[in-house]
Amino acid sequence: MGSSQANKDIVVLNTIKQIRKQVKDLKSNNKTIGLVPTMGALHDGHASLIKKAVQECDEVIVSIFVNPTQFGPNEDLDKYPRQLKQDVEICKANGAGLVFTPSSNEIYPEDKHLTYVVPSEYYQSKLCGLTRKGHFNGVATIVLKLFNIVAPDQAFFGLKDAQQLIIIKKMCRDLDVPVKIVECPIVRDNDGLALSSRNAYLTQAERAKAITINKLLFKIQELYNNGLKNKEKILNTALKILDADIELEYLEFLNLDSFKETNLLEKNTLIAIAAKINNIRLIDNIVI
């Protein structure tokens, strides 16, 4: 598996009918299929997902679809970066064999009175779900649609979107979706900033300020390693690192298994942050 895939031509398909035929042919030859769902504007973080999928599966399909149902009315759907030609090259270079790039009309032909997947309010009512109402309904709906269209054996998601990952795993358990969810670590730039398609919006000066987001997280890790476990005491020190121009949306400590908020830092604690700099929203996290 994997090593010879980067040398072959890549197939780009944009209809459900086409991709289902390809999958049927692959499965008739007993090929295992890995899916990497993306919204395009691919970077090294996505590349790491594709590489992992190539290691694990016989054939890798990357979906590129900027999903309108997960954007709120005042969010950046229209200006979300789109660079399909470049994205296909990245997919090919990292060993994917198929790219699925449907139009919005192909995915949502009946966009009125749409049937949504609605994850539990318990998982939605925290972190990003607090300010992005309905966001995870859109995420869960498109992911389940892609699973139904592609029928992959495994699907690969980055831990940067930790809440999304937890919600997708729960959806698969609750709805008996026969797809193995593979979580992949956050990929960071040399300066420590978590890779994100939205980083392209940052000016050099804004980026220098944005770096304090990951510095804050690493400071929390350092304080924990030095024996400090009380959330309030940790935040008193760590929050001083955040640049004054950064608007903090949330900084939460949650148990990764129960998804309960905790005031005591211990193993398996997710420390998740969302912050804005000049209206550019960035998220990051670490797991203790």
Q: For residue 257, which phi and psi values (nearest 5 degrees)?
A: -80, -50
CA 106, CA 103: separation in Å to the nearest integer?
5
CA 158, CA 104: separation in Å to the nearest integer?
24
Dmax (CA) for the chain in angstroms is: 59
Of 210, 235, 209, 211, the C-alpha closest to 223 is 235
Residue 273, strand partner residues: 251, 284
CA 288, CA 282: separation in Å to the nearest integer?
20
Q: Left, alpha or beta for 172 (phi > 0: left; psi -120 to 50: alpha)?
A: alpha
Residue 156, strand partner residues: 182
Catalytic annotation, pick one of 43, 46, 113, 135: 46
The reply to whether 46 belongs to the active site is: yes
Q: For residue 227, which phi and psi values (nearest 5 degrees)?
A: 100, 0
CA 98, CA 19: separation in Å to the nearest integer?
9
The residues annotated with a catalytic role in the active site are: 46
